[in-house]
């Protein structure tokens, strides 16, 4: 039996009805009483070309604005799928995958990019998939626990050209690093999360909307100088009100003399345009993109693409972008949590490899024999429990795989194997369901 939806705050309902209009607001209310759609995004850097696909039993439907994304008819028990922990796919809300379409449309050459408010990692991994090869992405989260989750998900994704940092926007301002693209999915009042997270309803207030509006402006002010001339800012929220959305975009355009860029969409996507026209009242088009539950198959999202004035002369000359220099500079000014494959640790006479080596898409792991595991062994390993490997498994450090995908290292002693999976990443539940069937077998 489905629980009744949590009542919406009266002030939110009154304002949003006026903003949406009666028809769209009623469509939105009806959607709030239905379960949120389920969607995943495949990791093309780990999947073989033409190999694993989403299982037909889940009735997957392609997400048209992200070629790696699929809606699923039902929600598998993702937590207990070793392939999720191996970084083969990522569970991400479909609306936020619109970033893939934006970047593929506007970014055609390798760039230096920054995902400023990145936890838990969905937009970072989506962005790195969409950016041209040769690009480098800084992925940042200021809050400690959230930054650790971000680092975990980026490491599972396995692409080497991402550096995870834990800093506030003002720290980036002081660093003087500059970027061709900045993705600012700014902290917001979270109205777009009401269906998935009832707690966000309890935390909503008109004062919090105002606080968020001001915070968002301060974040953009802090980071604006880090955007190169001619660079692109992707501004997004997961909220509906125009104060944090259209009005803040208008403020950015007015404050910095920036330009709002259009993104081609299709009518069938059911994306909603600006609900307040052009707040600047200057007669120009005001292309922004709203995803409203009930109209679009997804949760609430607002996105706008903004270009800074000027031309980046270095890009105009196709000068090689100095990624290595930027990472070194970041290390002097920022707190870098992860970047690429970390060095192993020497314990006695044994070099214990770091877990990032197991999850990397490109690193050489040929020094470590592979040992394929069955489902119960893989889950026990991901719980950080001692595991017993087959009798013919080599002794010493081995790379454990599940369905051919690396999940981590273990030190096989024969009668048992020492578990080298990161303790802080372990699956904490003691429940063991049947193996979730999300992807087909590797071909």
- The catalytic residues are 238
The single residue listed with the structure tokens 């994306």 is 271
How many CB atoms neighbour CB 333 within 10 A?
Answer: 15
Longest CA pairwise span in the chain (Å): 76
Distance of CA 348 to the CA centre of its chain: 39
Distance CA 291, CA 186 (A): 16
DSSP β-bridge partners for residue 227: 179
For residue 170, what are the CA distances in angstroms to 119, 120, 176, 207, 222?
18, 21, 10, 24, 5
């Amino acid at each position: 039996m489905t629980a009744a939806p949590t009542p919406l705050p009266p002030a939110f309902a009154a304002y949003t009805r006026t903003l949406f209009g009666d028809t769209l607001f009623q469509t939105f209310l009806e959607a709030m009483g239905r379960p949120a759609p389920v969607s995943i995004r495949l990791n093309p850097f780990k999947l073989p070309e033409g190999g694993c696909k989403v299982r037909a039993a889940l009735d997957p439907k392609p997400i048209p604005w992200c070629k790696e994304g699929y809606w699923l008819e039902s929600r598998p028990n993702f937590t207990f799928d070793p392939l999720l922990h191996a970084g083969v796919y990522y569970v991400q809300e479909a609306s936020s995958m619109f970033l893939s379409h934006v970047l593929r449309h506007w970014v055609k050459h390798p760039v230096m990019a920054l995902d400023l408010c990145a936890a838990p990692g969905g937009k970072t991994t989506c962005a790195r998939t969409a950016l041209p090869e040769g690009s480098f992405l800084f992925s940042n989260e200021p809050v400690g626990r959230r930054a650790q989750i971000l680092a975990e998900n980026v490491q599972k994704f396995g692409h080497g050209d991402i550096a995870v940092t834990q800093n506030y926007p003002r720290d980036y301002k002081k660093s003087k690093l500059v970027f061709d693209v900045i993705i600012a999915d700014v902290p917001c009042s979270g109205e777009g999360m009401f269906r998935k997270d009832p707690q966000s309803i309890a935390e909503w207030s008109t004062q919090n909307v105002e606080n968020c509006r001001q915070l968002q402006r301060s974040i953009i002010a802090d980071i604006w100088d880090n955007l190169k001339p001619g660079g692109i800012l992707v501004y997004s929220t997961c909220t509906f009100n125009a104060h944090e959305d259209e009005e803040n975009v208008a403020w950015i355009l007015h404050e910095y003399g920036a330009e709002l860029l259009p993104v081609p969409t299709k009518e069938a996507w059911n994306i909603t345009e600006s609900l307040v026209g052009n707040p600047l009242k200057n007669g120009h088009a005001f292309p922004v993109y709203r995803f409203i539950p009930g109209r679009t198959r997804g949760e609430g999202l607002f996105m706008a693409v903004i270009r800074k004035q000027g031309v980046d002369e270095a890009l105009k000359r196709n000068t090689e972008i100095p990624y290595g220099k930027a990472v070194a500079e970041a290390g002097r000014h920022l707190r870098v949590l992860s970047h690429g494959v970390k060095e192993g640790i020497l314990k006695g006479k044994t070099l214990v490899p770091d877990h990032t080596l197991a999850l990397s898409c490109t690193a050489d792991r040929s020094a470590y024999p592979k040992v394929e595991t069955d489902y119960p062994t893989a889950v026990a390993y991901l719980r950080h429990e001692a595991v017993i490997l087959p009798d013919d498994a080599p002794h010493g450090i081995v790379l454990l795989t599940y369905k051919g995908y690396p999940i981590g290292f273990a030190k096989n002693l024969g009668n048992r194997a020492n578990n080298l999976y990161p303790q802080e990443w372990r699956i904490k539940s003691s429940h063991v369901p049947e193996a979730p069937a999300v992807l087909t077998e590797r071909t």
